[in-house]
Structure 1
């Protein structure tokens, strides 16, 4: 009897905490005397749970932090490198994430972020001398991933500046050219572009460049067109690759925007990397002095040295794009409720998320080893090509699954995932298509070249 009175007293206390209007409304819906009787028959444990629910329910479920680095590879960086990685992450979250969709939608570049990016001191990260930091290729890969994780367009801008453009001068330029350009480009005081692809020549650039150059005294005359040239609408210099009409070899040039015969026209109506300012460059008897010819670029083999280095960076970009999409999807599944609970609690959703995470983790471990080989001087064309093939394929799959998890909301730019889906298509294609990179790997493992 005492236990029953105790229970009824507890329930009465709870009812007393409810105002009279609420009790009146409750009595119209339920039989209060009958309810009291049922309460008196409840166990202490069940009554305690019910009281807790009536007072505000159980504690909210603690949801794990969203983290696409499931094997914690970032923690293998030394303390200084880890600090730089996290500094780049904070910059991307603070400066880029809030504006990414807007600039992508308008197909414009946020010029105001260039001085802020310069403060990070990460351009030319792996180069030694010329005010460059001289860090590892592994850290460079992590930075490419951190940028693409938020905005692949910004990652591409930076990759062109720090990798393709600065890399061409670093690997193929004279000492005087390095001293002239690299310190200014490292500080982003001078912006560079890289002109190799042509309107009719993409994969076949090794032997089919139609842009020509011919020396006349101390001046070279360059004629032809370049297409898809990132940064070229506002770059101070563009590295132009052309076929020498005298010896049929590929040569490289530092072409300044004010050079006679140089014209860059912005490409319109892109569906991917819309923030990147790609240009169609027309060179009409463009005059370049011999002093601006890359002195160590005398064949396509020299061009390939630059591409080998940057192709590894593109694989890391694919990891970043995939990671960004996965993390967006994972967060969304805990926010989106259907049938009275988060869709993250559904079996099929969890299975899809784990599939994505498995692919992402495989990509991460692959590029991690790739950068280790680069740091050890063991990186070959086929190593970079295999990573480009595998990582961009898995990236495509991950962003597709991520969009699927967003349902109809996945096609709205406001949720960002649509931008990742579109940008993935560009990463999949540039720096060598899947087929061309596959043939590079195929040649290495079979000993036979299948190139036509």
Structure 2
């Protein structure tokens, strides 16, 4: 029987590093370094101001690293593994959920939609520039009145001669007002295949994007409302080979996979802050880390962080080997986001009043995770996806 002689490390008590390859650790470390250099010194200020002023510069820096669409092949994309992409999302969200959203929406929603469903012309026109960070994309699915039920979307596409004309609105769209291209899903009517996807250059007449203000979450992120007023597009703008919800849901599953990892990055950051604070904060003549109640909190937080990381890694290995079913992605998002939020809330109690200060990352992560909890599938929707997989019975209606 072998016994490990390694020294315990609070951020990796189960020695997860030992099952990562050297190239995987190199990807993780490279993203960690760029976040330390270009995000962490500024993100608390961005969050407080409710701005992401360096978004174009960040996109180009991430593009130069190969982070944008990194799990896609060809067209300037890096063609890396699902685990590589997951580790990148982990480090990006350890910096801030808004930064991970920038990369996730670019690569897993807008770029993946074009890569998977677009024509060769779409791919050649947009993917190389998007991979380099020279063009930014957004993904228009959610509407002001329809989030969890996109089948009833009100945005319409109609045929006018050989052209398409879009009318409607999309809400809570990351990157919306800074995007050069929008992937937009609209109801074209039963006679035209139902829900269809369109590649919409944002300089098209009738397209408008307005930033959403007064957010208390994802403040270091560009979030917009999109409107379409007689937006006329050529016939070639439509995705030719996908109809119905299969198109947008395939993209969402790609992005949700990144969230499975990213949420653990936010949790790790909050846990790290709690451990450091507990060893430095003295009460009653000793560090609060020496009290049983504090140690109980830290032990439970670490257990949930370790479990979430193991789940993310398993799903990543599975995705690389044979792909993932939607219910497997739902299990990952449901578990890891809820547990990450619990970790952040518990970390806040260890920091006491300091836990609400932007001098520490804890409340910023907790606030951000409140958005991550409900975007790209609410807790309720993912619970029902898992429930249907378990019972064979649909309970959505």
Flag whether TM exceeds 0.5 (same fold).
Answer: yes
Partner of 2:178: 234
Partner of 1:32: none
| Contact 1:214/1:222 (<8 A) preserved | yes
- Note the alpha carbon deviations across 1:90-118, whole angstroms, 9 max, x for none: 11112111101001111111233232222
Partner of 1:44: none
Partner of 1:192: 137
Partner of 2:14: 71
Unaligned runs of 5+ in 1: 1-63
| Contact 1:124/1:132 (<8 A) preserved | yes
How far off is 1:76 after superposition? 2.6
Q: Is 1:218–2:162 an aligned residue pair?
A: yes
Partner of 1:389: 334
Answer with 304-313 or 270-279: which moved more.
304-313
Alpha carbons of 1:119 and 1:67: their partners in 2 closer, same or farther (altered >3 Å)? farther
| Contact 1:318/1:392 (<8 A) preserved | yes
Within 5 Å, give how 1:411-426 maps onto structure 2. Answer: 411-426=356-371
- Note the alpha carbon deviations across 1:241-300, whole angstroms, 9 max, x for none: 001133461111111111111010100100100011110111111112222212233221
Q: Is 1:292–2:252 an aligned residue pair?
A: no
Deviating beyond 4 angstroms after TM superposition, the runs of 4 or more aligned structure 1 residues are 64-67
Q: Is 1:96–2:47 an aligned residue pair?
A: no
Within 5 Å, give how 1:34-433 maps onto structure 2. Answer: 67-109=10-52, 110-111=54-55, 112-205=57-150, 207-245=151-189, 246-247=191-192, 249-433=194-378
| Contact 1:214/1:220 (<8 A) preserved | yes
Unaligned runs of 5+ in 2: 1-6
How far off is 1:209 after superposition? 1.0
How far off is 1:67 after superposition? 4.5
Whole-angstrom distance in 1 between the partners of 2:23 and 2:261? 20
SS of the equivalent of 1:124 reads: coil
How far off is 1:305 after superposition? 1.3
Alpha carbons of 1:309 and 1:114: their partners in 2 closer, same or farther (altered >3 Å)? closer
Whole-angstrom distance in 2 between the partners of 1:421 and 1:66? 24
| Contact 1:77/1:139 (<8 A) preserved | no
| Structural RMSD (CA) | 1.5
How far off is 1:411 after superposition? 1.2
Partner of 2:4: none
Partner of 1:440: 385
| Contact 1:251/1:299 (<8 A) preserved | yes
SS of the equivalent of 1:423 reads: helix
Q: Give TM-score scaled by structure 1 length.
A: 0.83
| Contact 1:213/1:220 (<8 A) preserved | yes
Alignment length, in residue pairs? 388
| Contact 1:108/1:276 (<8 A) preserved | yes
SS of the equivalent of 2:178 reads: coil
| Contact 1:66/1:330 (<8 A) preserved | no
Alpha carbons of 1:72 and 1:187: their partners in 2 closer, same or farther (altered >3 Å)? farther
Partner of 1:39: none
How far off is 1:66 after superposition? 6.3
Answer with 436-445 or 286-295: which moved more.
286-295
Whole-angstrom distance in 2 between the partners of 1:75 and 1:161? 31
- Note the alpha carbon deviations across 1:403-430, whole angstroms, 9 max, x for none: 1111011111122211011011011111
- Note the alpha carbon deviations across 1:114-143, whole angstroms, 9 max, x for none: 322222112111111112111110111111
Whole-angstrom distance in 1 between the partners of 2:70 and 2:18? 19
Q: Give TM-score scaled by structure 2 length.
A: 0.94
How far off is 1:180 after superposition? 1.6
Whole-angstrom distance in 1 between the partners of 2:126 and 2:268? 34
Partner of 1:41: none
Bigger RCO (CA 8 Å, 6+ sep)? 2
| Contact 1:314/1:431 (<8 A) preserved | no
SS of the equivalent of 1:178 reads: helix
How far off is 1:325 after superposition? 0.9
